[in-house]
Structure formats: C-alpha cells, structure tokens
Structure 1
Amino acid sequence: MPESILLDITIVIVLGVGAQWAAWRFRLPSILLLLLVGFLAGPVLGFLSPQSLQGDWLFAFVSLSIGIILFEGGLSLRLSELREVGGTVLNLTTIGALITWGLGAAGLHYILEYNVPLSILIGAILIVTGPTVVIPLLRHVQPKGRVGTVAKWEGITIDPVGAILAVLVLETLLLLNDPSRAEAGVNAAVEHVAIGLGLEIFVALGISVAATMLLVFVLRQRMVPDFLRNAVTLMVVVAAFVVSNVLQHESGLLTTTLMGIAVANQPFVSVQHIVEFKENLQVLLIGSLFVLLSARLELSALEYIDLRVLIFLGLLIFIVRPVAVFVSAVRSNLDWEEKAFLSWMAPRGVVAAAVASLFAFQLRPVYPEAVDGMVPVVFAVIVGTVAIYGLTAAPLAQWFGLADPNPNGLLFVGAAPWVRMVARRVQDLGVDVSLIDNNPTHVEQAREEGLDAYQANVLSETVLDEVDLYGLGRLLITIPNDEVASLTALHFSEVFESTDIHQLA
C-alpha cells in the first residue's frame, strides 16, 4: 500500500512538471497538455485510479493550493497600475462578472437543458478566468499599453469573486433542498446570500490585513533568518487561508489574493525572494492540480461532450465575453481595438476545474443525475477556451495593432557604464532600447541619461510582467557570470526566440 501511494505521488509530479516542460519546449498552452496527460494517466491507461482520487483530502489540497497560487498572483499586482485602468478593472469584476453569470446561466439552461438552479451555479463557476492561464498568454502575446494591465488584474482578481459567488449559490441550493429546513423560502435564501457575502468580505479583509501586518513586522524586524523567510511567509499564508475558511466558508481565496496585493505594495520589506520561491512552488502546484483533477474523470464523461456543448462554448466566446467587456468599458478610455482584444481574453483555468469537481461531489445527493455532466462540461469549456484563445490571441493582437509582429528593439540585461554607452548609441540609431539591472544606482543613472531602465532580478518570473516588452525583439545579456547568463537566457526564452538571445561580456 505505501509503495502504491508513493508511485501515485511520483506519477503526478513527473507528469505535472514534464507536461509543463513539453508545453514550453513546443510553445503550447501548458493547461492543454496537463489536462491531456492527466486524462490519459487516469481513466484511459489506469496509472492513476479515478476511484482513489476521491474524498475530502483531495479537495482540501486543491483548495489550499489555489489559495497559494492566488497569493503568488497578487504579488505581481501593483496598485500604481490602476491609475489609468482602475475603473475598467472594477467594472469587469463586477458588472462584467454579473453579465457573464447571467448569460452563461441562460445558455446552460436553454442549450444544455440544465435545470435553473444548476444553470445558475455552473454559470457562477464559469465567471473565473485565472492567472494560471491569462498571465502566460499575455507573456506570449506581449500586448502594448493598458490592455495587458487590465487583463492581468481581471484574471487574478476575478478568481476569488467567482469562487465566492459560486459558494454562495451552492450553499443556497443546499439550504433550499435541506429537508430539515423545508420552511426556508426565497426570502431566507436571499438573506443567506446577503449575509454570507458581507461576512466573506469582512473576514477576508480582516484576516488579510492582520496577516500582512504580522508578516511585514516579522520580516522587517529580522526575527527570522534569511533561510527561513520563505518558509515563514508560506506558513503565514497557509494559516491566514485556513483561519479565514474556518471563520467563513471559502473566504480563504479572497484572503490570500488581498494578502498578496498588500504584501507586494507595502514599502517596508523586499519581497523579491518570496516571489521567486512562490514561482517554483506554483509550478509544482499547477501541474499537480490539473493532473489530479483530470485524472478523476471517468471515460463515460466523454458522453456529455456533444454538439450542444460546442454551441454553448461558442456562445461564451463570441457573445457573452464581448458583451461583458463592451458594457464594462462603456465610459473607459480604452479604444475599440483594446476592447476587442479584451473580448478575446477569457480562458478558464484551474479554479473553474477545482470548484466544479468539488461542487459535483457535494451536490450528488441533491441532483444525482444532472450533476454527472457538470464536470465534463466545465472541463470542455476550459480546454476549448484555452485552445482557441491561446492559438489566436497573438495574431489578433497584431491585427489590431496592439502587438508588434516583427519587433526590433533591444533589451539589455545589465546597466553598467559601458552598457549604457552602447545602449545610447543604439538608441540614437532609432532602435527601441530598455535595460534591466538589480543595481539601483545603475538603473537611476540610466534613467538620468534618457534610457528606459528597470530595477529587477532577471531570474524572477515577475520580471516578465514588470518590464514593458512591446517592440523589443532581441535580448543582449551583459552579465559577466556565465552561469547566471545561461539561466537568464533560459528564463527569457519564453518571450524571445533562441536566435534573438545573445551574450556580450
């Protein structure tokens, strides 16, 4: 028995990491490969038994993992980015979410013929997009200006919003179908939702602020050694998530998201090492989550994928998302092309998959027949949206003039005096130039000389979010350390072709 459990764990880790490597190597959306290998390893080949992947332990692991992933996503958000697009982001996560919810539920009811309660529930689940799919897609497309900021903020903040709405709907359905509370009517359900929403926000705000203050105090006072900083951070995040969930069911996702944003924007301690640690942890968590969730499916799930599901997918992509974006951006300063691109940026990710799997398990006693098709439909939407958006977003952005199909700008890694001199000469020739350096003095001097410069650790994954890569098509590494230079080249191969990465030292 212990050997079989160890084998299952090893298979999950190997498939999760291996699929992400293959996706990077062949420039494919990683979620597609993760879902594929999980389905093959589970119901198709039987390496992972779907029956063994049932129970509360899996959903507890999934929920906690998503909380950590959302914390990591919050670390990439800077409040300064909201000065120009804050109103649009707010509208997309409120008005846009309600439109997606309503139209999606209508499609589920009239196209897939789900009953009204399940349609409302699944519609709430499909509100979410998520950083695990949106951020890699933005790195691939490299859109210019405001549109990338809007998509990143929406992708990270919509996850807890959709999850909370879905939880409230689930609790309402369970309340209305509870024989012991047969007297509960619509008014009681509305009151339950209102109280639940208020408690979710109150608890999440309180716990996230308290946990952030505690973490910042501990790190600023250097109460822990450097080698324990990441471990202590993870401990506080997990504790905040669990305490929040204990006080109010499923409020932990909003708590960790708010905590990530707060930690990223506080001025007292550096979070660079925390970000790097969370990036490595996220790779393992995302890979494991998708493999585990897709391996839980049965082969019979394919019976629910028919023409009606494809029609519903088309409704979400071609009608629901554009309506939500254009209504949300009515009074924004986004132009038509930016709105159109955002209308083509709503891939579903791990939160939708996890919530659907959890809710199907909880709703089986209430809707024993109808709930069987719930998870396959949500997974079909995930696969369909990731495939369609992932393969077409870059050409569409280029067509709208939001991405440069042939960028010839030069990104220098390093901003030493001789590098700045070369960069100025290149800039004088009319070529776009940017510099990255971890030395604040070098960065400040570069800016004084009229160069576009960023202070960042080139090996941190957030550097790809912090640097405006629009118009930059070549990378010149000027770091004298060959090992660091090689790692930098590997890291930036996500956005630059290998033939456009050079080293000069």
Structure 2
Amino acid sequence: MLLAITQQAIDAGAADAAPIASRAASPLVALALIGAAGIGAQWAAWKLKLPSILLLLLAGILVGPLLGWLQPHDLFGAVLYPLVSLAVAVILYEGGLSLHLHELGAHGTPILRLLTVGVVTTWTLATIAALTIAKLPWETAMVLGAILTVTGPTVIGPLLRQIRPRGPAEAIAKWEGIVVDVVGATLAVLVLHVATEGFAQDGAIHSATGALVDLFKTAIVGTAFGVLGTYALAIPLRKHLIPDELENAVSLAIVLGIFVAADSLAHESGLLAVTLMGFLLANRKDVSVHHIIEFKENLRVLLISTLFIVLAATIDLGALRATGWNGLLFVVALIVVVRPASVFLSTLGTTLTSADRTFLAFLAPRGIVAAAVSSLFALRMQEANVPGADLMAPLAFLVIVVTVAVYGLGAGPLARRLKLSDPDAQGTLIAGAGPFALEFGRALKKLGIDVVHVDTNRASIAEARLGGLPAYYGSILSSEVVGSLPLGGTGRFVGLTPNDEVNALAAAHFSTLYERANVYQSASGARSADDARKDLRGRTLFHGDWPLSRLDGAIRAGSVVKTTNLTEEFGFAKFLEKYGENTLPLGIVRNGRLELFTADKPPAPEPEAALLSLVREKKEEEQVQIRQAAATSSAAAVLP
C-alpha cells in the first residue's frame, strides 16, 4: 500500500503548496537544505541534550510550511512517497537486525501481549475517541484508530538511545516499536478494506471476508519473502561469494528488492518481509552481519534525518488549525487514556515493576509510518467517497507533532523520576575481571559509581561476585552477551582484557552507544599499536607506558587503588610529593562525576575532588629498612 501512489496525491500536495511556491528553493539548493537541516538538527539535539526527533520535526516545519523554502511535492513529484516507502523499509530492516531472540525469551510475555492485546485495545479506544471527541464518521474513525496503533523505530529508537533506561523496559519498547509497525500497518490495511469496500458496496460480510483474505495473504507473502531474502543474503555471505566492499550494497539491494516484490503481491507484506529478514539474519550463527549492522546504523541516521525533514515540510498548518480544540482533546485522550490503558491491560500478571509499566505507558510517539500511511489511506478513502476522509491526514499529523513533543520532552524526566535512567550516567562497563580491573571496579563502587564486569574467565567472575561486583560471564564481543547486560545507568566503556584486539573491537562497538569520548582501553604495550588510527581504538587509559600487564603486576606486587580526598591544604602537588614514583593517577570523582585520566589528557586535579590512584604502599618492614639506612648514612657522615 505504501507503493500505491496516485496522481491525486501529487496534485493535492501541489495545490496546498501553491501560495508559497514562489519562495521555494531551487532543486539543488532544496536537496542540500534537507541534508543540512537534518544533520544540523541532529547535532543541535546532541549539543542541547534534547530528543533529536523533536528538533527534526521543528526544523522541517520551519523550512517547509513556515518559510516555504522546501516543498517536497514540487521537489520530488511522483517519487516522493515511493522514496518514503523504501526508506521506511530500510529502517525496519535495520530495526529487525537489532532484535535478538534471547530478549524475546526473557520478556516474551509482555512483548507478545503489547503486540496483540495492546494493539486491539489501542485500536478500540482510539476509534471510540475519534468518534466521540474528534467527531469523525465511523469508517474514518476505524481506519485512523488502526493507523495510530503504530509507533515505530524512527521515533522510539532515538528516544531509547538518549534515555538508556534500566531494566526490561528498553528491550520491550524496542521490540514493540519495531514489530508494531508491521502489525499496525497490516491491521490498517484490513480496516481500510472494510471501510472502503463496505461503504462502496454496502456489504459488511463481503468486506469482512475480503479483509480476512488480505490478512492471510499478507502473512503468507511477507513470511515467504522474509525467509527468501534471508537465504538470498546469508548463502552468498557464508560462501564468501560477495567481496567485502560490495556486501553492504548487495544487502541494501536485496532488502529493497524483497520489499518491492512482496508489497507488489500483498499490501504491507513488504514491511513484514524486511523486518523478518533482519531478525532472521541477526540471529543466525553461521553468518556474521556486524559490518552490515554498522553500515545500516549510519544509514538509519541519515534516513531518519531526511524523512522527518521532508514529511514535516509537507504538513499543512491550515489543515492542522482546522482540527480545532476537538483535535487537541483527541490527542490528549490518546496520551492520558488510550496508551496507559493499553499498557496496563497488556502487562497484567507479568513480572514488570510498576516503574517499568508506567514508563511504557507514557512512551508512544508516532512517526514516519503513521504519517505516510495516513496520507495514502486518506486519498484512497476520498476516491471511495468515504465521509470524513479529508480530516484523517491532518489529525494524524497533529498526533505526530504533539506526541513527538510530549514524549520527546517528557520521557527522559519521567524515566529519571522512576529511577530507570540517569541524566548524566556515570556507570562504567568494564571488559575484564583481572587483578587490576577488579581492584579498579571496587574503588569505583565505593565512590558510588556503578560498574558492570564482563569476562570469559569463570574464576574471575566468581571472585568479582564474591566481592559484591556485578559480573557476567561471556565475550564482550558477543552481541547476545551484550544484549543481556544491564546497561541502564552506564555512560562509558573501559577495555581491560589481556587481548588488545578485543579491547579495540569492543571500543569500536561501544563508541556508537557511549560516544568516542567515553570509550577507553588500556595501553597496548606496543608503541605501534598505540600510534594506530584513533578511530580503531578507544582512548588510551592512564599512561602509554602502563599496559594491562604492568597494572596487573603492580596489584600482584601489593599495590592498591587508593582514594585520596584532595583539599586546599593537601592538593595534587603534595600528593605527588608524598608518593613520588610510587603512584599512577587514574581519575577523579567530583560531585558524583567520574573523569578518567588518559594519555592524551594528563591529570590536573583540583581541590574538593576524590583522586583515584594506583599506589605502591611501602610495607612497615620496608619503611624500617629505609629509616635504618638513613640513620647509617647520617652516622657515616659524622665519622672522621
């Protein structure tokens, strides 16, 4: 259905844009403007600590309906919605690649209920709200209610990456946001069939039967093409039939081909096909898709930036105003009644805490799929002379604008109030549980910094747990292990495994989660490795002359990680004077914030901070020997 574009869509969009057409930029400038506005909004959101989707939406409205510089219908013409459809397919495929089977095993009950009970509840209550509050006819209310069951990874994903909630809420919200697009879009197609066919032919039984046939056809075609696409990519990858430089391009071509082929046979089956394809590939043991995932993640950022700018620029502000107070009250009902009721009914009897349920109950922003589907379905319903069809797209866009703003600004503070997230996460994920890593972890924990250890040595994991440190067995390079880690509250990665390549690979992976400035690894001990490209390694910890082997050796020799409270009277200079060459500064903690020392940032601690350092404490007998040697030296000096 996303590909079923009619010329009426283009004509209608062009007519709406006519009053400000004279201000539109040239095609070349407009294309550059989309990229600049999208990436600029992403950067501004990162700088201001605001949800990126909110600034993207505002930027699109600014350059589109407000200033008139960007008019997507004139710029792209008949290919606008096909391009949107293909972009959504790639985003859902990338979302499928992030779904791991073990997450479904751990949180399967709430996920499946949200995708069944939750969808039905949302559809029913949203339809009632559209009938009673927005005053829509029943046919249009049913279709709009079905469309608004979707949320989508384009809006949920960026919010989760920014908030990084603790516990099961993150995995559940991720699964729901990706899979509900498929479920909701399919439901919307079935309801559209009933609304248009039933209204046109006055045959409810006929339309209901046709809807069931469409459902069966969509499920069969989507599943078949999803499996076909998986083998079409997995077999050449496993047999090394595709050169490395073409793997990403071939992957993208197969995804787009599968989506178009499936959607041509059954409406919305393309979304099911590409999502299922991503999920199956991500959970295969015989094929590595890590490099494809990295490429798709970068592509996703570009696509989301572009899509939000383009679709926001198509918003008709006059049509939004025409929805009036009833439209705003309808959106309020969705936020404060429909979504909470859906979540609480879906999670009854599960092991989710009240905090998790509350967070999920107030996290349902609508995004790209709702915008695209509502626009297309409105045109289809107008062709069938369904009453109220002209109000559906403006109401859907109003829901998108308000929910993105409300959830984008409110989800983070809510998560922090529920103790599910930290505004400035200081927790540290440590790869390794050797002598120094455990000593370092214990010192951080005493200062109130949460730590999580991961190691492949069961004895080291047991030692960490006996010492009260959260520790998990497995490889830090395993996506299954990483996916099961409690990363909520963490804000940095420290690689302290004996294998420098493992540290570097893990640092490269976690730089996408924590940003490069918060990803560290121990010195390699080889100058050539430390001088390698910085984007291939984490920041070198402490000092380039202190590789992990030396740090571990110091702990075995009796050194300890010591915490010293610096003051005006006893500052860093006096600390160095006292310990001299027997110390290595590691980091400081000030007001609960941890700053690690690195080779590219020499230590400069200030008073009123806790200094972490590796100190070789002189033993009592060693100090006695030093005093005796000093006394002997003094006596020898006075002899004639």
TM-score scaled to structure 1, two decimals?
Answer: 0.87
Provide the rounded CA distance (Å) in 2 between the counterparts of 1:147 and 1:468.
Answer: 11
Count of residues in correspondence between the two structures = 492
Name the aligned partner's letter for residue 330 of structure 1. Answer: L
Corresponding residue of 1:263: 281
- State the SS of the aligned residue for 1:133: helix
Name the aligned partner's letter for residue 341 of structure 1. Answer: F
Provide the rounded CA distance (Å) in 1 between the counterparts of 2:359 and 2:130.
Answer: 25
Corresponding residue of 1:68: 90
Structure 1: runs of 5+ lacking an equivalent: none
Name the aligned partner's letter for residue 230 of structure 1. Answer: N
> Does 1:200 find its partner at 2:222?
no
Q: 2:414 aligns with which of 381, 388, 396?
A: 396
Q: 2:64 aligns with which of 42, 47, 57?
A: 42
Q: 2:104 aligns with which of 76, 82, 89?
A: 82
- State the SS of the aligned residue for 2:429: strand
Q: Decide whether the 8 Å contact of 2:51 with 2:162 is kept in 1.
A: no
Q: 1:336 aligns with which of 349, 354, 358?
A: 354
Provide the rounded CA distance (Å) in 2 between the counterparts of 1:87 and 1:55.
Answer: 44
Q: 1:492 aligns with which of 509, 514, 526?
A: 514
Residue correspondence of structure 1 range 77-476 to structure 2 within 5 A: 77-178=99-200, 182=201, 185-367=203-385, 370-403=388-421, 408-412=426-430, 415=432, 420=437, 422-426=439-443, 429=446, 432-434=450-452, 447=461, 450=464, 451-452=471-472, 455=475, 467-473=485-491, 475-476=493-494
Corresponding residue of 2:625: none
Corresponding residue of 2:31: 9
Provide the rounded CA distance (Å) in 2 between the counterparts of 1:490 and 1:147.
Answer: 20
Judged with a 3 Å threshold, the aligned counterparts in structure 2 of structure 1 residues 336 and 415 are, in CA distance, closer, same or farther, namely closer
Q: Decide whether the 8 Å contact of 1:477 with 1:503 is kept in 2.
A: no
Provide the rounded CA distance (Å) in 2 between the counterparts of 1:453 and 1:21.
Answer: 37
Q: Decide whether the 8 Å contact of 1:76 with 1:465 is kept in 2.
A: no
Corresponding residue of 2:525: none
Q: Decide whether the 8 Å contact of 2:117 with 2:342 is kept in 1.
A: yes
Q: Decide whether the 8 Å contact of 2:130 with 2:141 is kept in 1.
A: yes
Provide the rounded CA distance (Å) in 2 between the counterparts of 1:234 and 1:501.
Answer: 41
Provide the rounded CA distance (Å) in 2 between the counterparts of 1:220 and 1:486.
Answer: 24
Q: CA offset at residue 87 of structure 1?
A: 1.6
Which structure is higher in helix share?
1
Instruction: State the Cα deviation string for residues 60-85 of structure 1 (Å, max 9, x = none).
Output: 11111111101101111111112232
Q: Decide whether the 8 Å contact of 2:456 with 2:474 is kept in 1.
A: no
Judged with a 3 Å threshold, the aligned counterparts in structure 2 of structure 1 residues 230 and 502 are, in CA distance, closer, same or farther, namely farther
The structure with higher relative contact order (CA 8 Å, sep 6+) is 1
Provide the rounded CA distance (Å) in 1 between the counterparts of 2:473 and 2:452.
Answer: 6
- State the SS of the aligned residue for 1:364: helix
Provide the rounded CA distance (Å) in 2 between the counterparts of 1:316 and 1:494.
Answer: 39
Name the aligned partner's letter for residue 95 of structure 1. Answer: V
Judged with a 3 Å threshold, the aligned counterparts in structure 2 of structure 1 residues 408 and 290 are, in CA distance, closer, same or farther, namely closer
Q: Decide whether the 8 Å contact of 1:411 with 1:475 is kept in 2.
A: yes
TM-score scaled to structure 2, two decimals?
Answer: 0.70
Name the aligned partner's letter for residue 270 of structure 2. Answer: G
- State the SS of the aligned residue for 2:26: helix
Provide the rounded CA distance (Å) in 2 between the counterparts of 1:160 and 1:265.
Answer: 19
Q: Decide whether the 8 Å contact of 1:475 with 1:501 is kept in 2.
A: no
Q: Decide whether the 8 Å contact of 2:64 with 2:71 is kept in 1.
A: yes
Provide the rounded CA distance (Å) in 2 between the counterparts of 1:452 and 1:423.
Answer: 17
Provide the rounded CA distance (Å) in 1 between the counterparts of 2:175 and 2:410.
Answer: 21
Provide the rounded CA distance (Å) in 2 between the counterparts of 1:105 and 1:485.
Answer: 48
Q: CA offset at residue 153 of structure 1?
A: 1.0
RMSD between aligned alpha carbons? 3.4
Provide the rounded CA distance (Å) in 1 between the counterparts of 2:101 and 2:506.
Answer: 31
